[in-house]
Chains A and B, each alone.
Chain A
């Protein structure tokens, strides 16, 4: 019944988005909250350390135990107990891992941080996650610089950072230093049924002209060419539109939007993207979708009534129960809008989420970091992907593996994108009011006439209203 309560659904999707957002906040305002995690500051704790060596780059005490706490949610906990811990103990047999899992991270961990005895490695996730910006401000998260500079666990000749996807380290960086490891990875694109497309010999377009030509063909075949759910998932469409905008004008267009820069929404890339998508709305969308919820449209796609659906890589797992045998999820990058797009057609929007961090004031912070290093090995990442059907920030960890068709396709798309992967925008979690406005505006654009200028003007006005409102805490990014 979760789909009924549009807001209370704190599923993986929201969690990932939230976690990603928390990871990015450079947080001018959360200092207010830091008081509540500021305890234990002056306590001199005896922390375990060992001697650094090529085999032990972080210099852990090989006999000291490591305590970890995992969030027990959509991703489960089996990846920690069945993959990561055995892997860690294979190398460090004498370091005992004390494991526990909880659904209430904040309730369980915050008092322990305040008491000065936090666990060594914490998975800060779920609806009850701690404000990570506040934790960083209070000096409770260990600096992960040495972890990312250390040699990879199982990729010879590379540092940990070098094995990760672009932007992964940056997403956990606060004031220039990395404090969080964002482990899971969501890619966004146009989802379709590979079998249906093969049967009709429809090929995936890379230019807008090819895209609309294909939409015409699909329409002629009696299938709704493109759709999204207006009632509660119009933000999928916002993402599609802004991804196109970023392809036209690079990620800078989205950064301007996040920074509430005047004129950010009326800039050419946004206008061109709104124009192109507005036409798609005019010609190819089923107008009744305005009143449908995401599960209803997704079900229609599973029944081959909708061809393209803009979404993130959680889609396949979310629809697992409703996907019939003849249906094979695949994902494509959004096609280029103009010939002059600054990013190539293969460029995609992908974001890391799920924060893992080592506690700065725990008994064994180096041990916590070493556990993270184990998690960032190719072997552990593959295990995680197999168990959770989610990609990780470890680049190419599941290459050549057949886990599920959709995941393989997402992985291919990521490989093809190469360095042209961008984090996207954050205004939707920073300024909920603007997020709300964007949902209404995109619905109007797609379902009621496709007026790009109106979309841009409305969003620009809303953005400037937020900028002028002194009661709203502002964030910036670069």
Chain B
């Protein structure tokens, strides 16, 4: 038995590891290497030490982008998880308790499909649709709904609100998926626990905070990491929706967009790689921190 174990495991692993090594690890190593060059993306490669990082330190757009990524990093997970938890709770447990079964609110099956729907749309399409929702004149959906006497809101064209608009779209798109994720988590919580709590006279709110959330903690933790990583991206939305891609005046610039623009628009691949390195460490730090901070002894059901 023991004899054939290693060839078997190696046989399984060799293809994925090779793929991972070629397309992920090697690419990362190259990014690190190129971040020390002034490469334009074509032709000769010159090493310039840490000049790119010095330049980056003095780059206003870089700090703006970091700020915007942090804005998303803090708000996107919180808002999405809160909304998704509430919805999932209502869909699964919110209908109360009848005939020995916890149920969702009336019509929860329909809601579940509706909530999941945004997830099915390609991000580019979502961006285009919301481009119209946030249209800056009366043809925009929101401005059209406002009273005629109001001056149109500029939304994406207003430096103050551009990032908030992006956040709203990200939340709108993400909620459905996490409703499903949390629903699955809630499904695995034994109904006995709810029953027992209900017998003790717990209200729905108590049920939510004392039973659902603690028992779902590991799922929430995963959701947090996923959403945090999504907050470091946001590339497609910003690229398609915003004024002059990342504007006005860098008011909606994010790191991923900056990397893309430097690499492919500004022919500064070396600088873009330096940004990539920064993003790599930021994402890594975030994931490590989240897992550490949210570590809790999971409650045994």
Contact = CB atoms under 8 A, between A and B. Distances in A.
Interface string B128-151: 100100111101000000000000
B43 A32 contact: yes
B155 interface: yes
Contacts of A5: 124, 240
B265 interface: yes
B248 A7 contact: no
A470 B244 CA distance: 26
B248 A6 contact: no
Nearest to B37: A471
A5 B260 CA distance: 14
B266 A432 contact: yes
B135 A443 contact: no
- Determine the interface band of chain A, counting residues with CB < 8 A from chain B: 20 to 34
Contact of B135 (A234, A291, A440): A291
B40 interface: yes
A33 B250 CA distance: 33
A231 interface: yes
Interface in A281-296: 286-292, 296
A230 B157 contact: yes
Contacts of A33: 42-43
Contacts of A29: 43
Interface residues of B, number: 37
Given A33-B42, A231-B244, A291 B124 contact: no
B110 to A, nearest CB: 31
A223 to B, nearest CB: 15
Given A432-B266, A436-B265, A290 B136 contact: yes
Contacts of A291: 134-137, 154-157, 243
Contacts of B240: 4-6
Q: Do most interface residues of chain A lie in helix, strand or loop, or is the interface mixed?
A: helix
Contacts, number: 92
A103 to B, nearest CB: 21
B179 to A, nearest CB: 28
Interface in A443-478: 443-444, 470-473
Nearest to B243: A231
Given A33-B42, A288-B154, A232 B244 contact: yes
A17 interface: no
A472 B268 contact: yes
Interface in A1-27: 1, 4-7
A472 B46 CA distance: 12
A28 to B, nearest CB: 12
A443 B243 contact: yes
B265 A290 contact: no
A112 interface: no
Contacts of A32: 42-44
Given A470-B38, A471-B40, A440 B247 contact: yes
A6 B154 contact: no
Contacts of B294: none
B77 interface: no
Q: Do most interface residues of chain B lie in helix, strand or loop, or is the interface mixed?
A: loop
B245 interface: yes
A255 interface: no
A439 interface: yes
Given A232-B244, A290-B136, A444-B249, A433 B266 contact: yes
Given A32-B43, A33-B42, A288 B271 contact: no
Given A32-B44, A432-B266, A290 B243 contact: yes
Contacts of B136: 288-292
B236 to A, nearest CB: 10
A288 B247 CA distance: 15
A290 B154 contact: yes
A440 B43 contact: no
Interface string A57-80: 000000000000000000000000
Contacts of A471: 38, 40, 48, 268, 270-271
Given A440-B248, A443-B247, A473 B265 contact: no
Interface in B248-279: 248-250, 261, 265-268, 270-271
Contacts of B48: 471
B185 interface: no
Given A32-B44, A230-B243, A290 B157 contact: yes
A18 to B, nearest CB: 13
A113 B124 CA distance: 39
A134 B254 CA distance: 35
Contacts of A287: 154
B165 to A, nearest CB: 10
Contacts of B96: none
A252 to B, nearest CB: 27
Contacts of A296: 139
B155 A473 contact: no
Contacts of B38: 470-471
Nearest to B127: A4
Interface string A218-238: 000000000000111010000
B118 interface: no
Contacts of A230: 157, 243-244, 248
Nearest to B268: A471
A231 B40 contact: no
B104 interface: no
A431 to B, nearest CB: 8
12 contacts: A4-B128, A4-B240, A29-B43, A232-B243, A288-B157, A291-B156, A432-B266, A436-B265, A440-B248, A471-B38, A471-B270, A472-B40
Which 3 pairs from chain A and chain B are nearest by CB?
A: A291-B157, A291-B136, A32-B43
Given A443-B247, A471-B38, 15 more contacts: A1-B128, A5-B124, A6-B240, A32-B43, A33-B43, A230-B243, A230-B244, A234-B244, A288-B137, A288-B154, A436-B244, A443-B249, A471-B40, A473-B40, A473-B267
